[in-house]
Amino acid sequence: MTLNNKAGSVAVLGQARPHLITLSYSRRQSKKYSDKPCPRFNMTGSCNRGLTCIYQHDPSKIAICWNFLYNKCPNSDETCPLSHDPTPERTPLCTHFIHGGCSRPNCHFPHVNIGARQGVCRDFAVFGYCEKGLDCDQQHVRECPDFAEHGTCTNKGCKLPHVIRANRNRKPKAEVSPSVIAGAAVDAAPSKPMDTAADPPTVDASASAAGGGELGDEYISLTFNESESDGSGDEESDEEDEEGGNSNNDHEGTAPTHSDVDM
């Protein structure tokens, strides 16, 4: 037994005080637990936080042992803290099998070809386990998802590989409809210049014939039009007839005029 500072009070070693028990219980009740798995427990098989850890500890979601995948794990399935069960949820697909064939006799990587996938699966990279398995539309690889997506990583002490890929910034070509292509071609075409050789103006056939145009024998006018010179000549002859007196009038009575012939 030990004595405390207060007179008459006795405390027994190893016996918890009631107010300390109440305080620790209230702290546990005030914590907000998360449904996410514990990254430390999943990636290493253990968590030193104990009951104070707010994340979930599920032994069925332990990450795969990478030494086991390459037949270099010194532990057995029971003694290894990590999983020796190479399921698609926790194991990357065999890249050699995807690209034509795998020559390893005891390959532990799943031999499944599910087509191309874009991006890095965050659950698989951070927790070592993805519940979607083969249905996941992203790659199950062990590399930093932030660095793979943005080219930088702001997580201090990140232990995931930062892989630099040549096709990181390449984007797939968007499909363009034929109507959009036709519209772009029309907009890009230069305005049509005024070319007289390409689009000759319309020339009047009668004017071309009168001025000695290039119509020649290809056009023969069947319409008779009196020229202005003939009309002016008639007017001058009429004036001369009026000034000539009665002698000219008698001559018009005996012989038909030019207008009578036309009639």
pLDDT of residue 67: 94
Q: In this predicted model, what pLDDT tens digit does every residue of 107-138 receive, in sequence order?
A: 999 998 888 888 899 999 999 999 999 999 99
- The arithmetic mean of pLDDT across residues 77-97, rounded, is 93
What gap in Å lies between CA 63 and CA 55, rounded to an integer? 16
pLDDT band at 176 (very low <50, low <70, confident <90, very high): low
* pLDDT of 48 strictly over 60: yes
Mean pLDDT of the chain: 72
Give, in order, the Cα–Cα distances in Å from 196 to each of 60, 140, 189, 202: 85, 68, 20, 11
Q: Is 188 exposed, middle or buried (0-12, 13-18, 19+ CB in 10 A)?
A: exposed
Query: Is the domain 114-170 a CATH 1.10.260 member?
Result: no
Give the domain ranges of the chain: 114-170
Given pLDDT bands bounded at 50, 70 and 90, which one contains residue 73?
Answer: very high
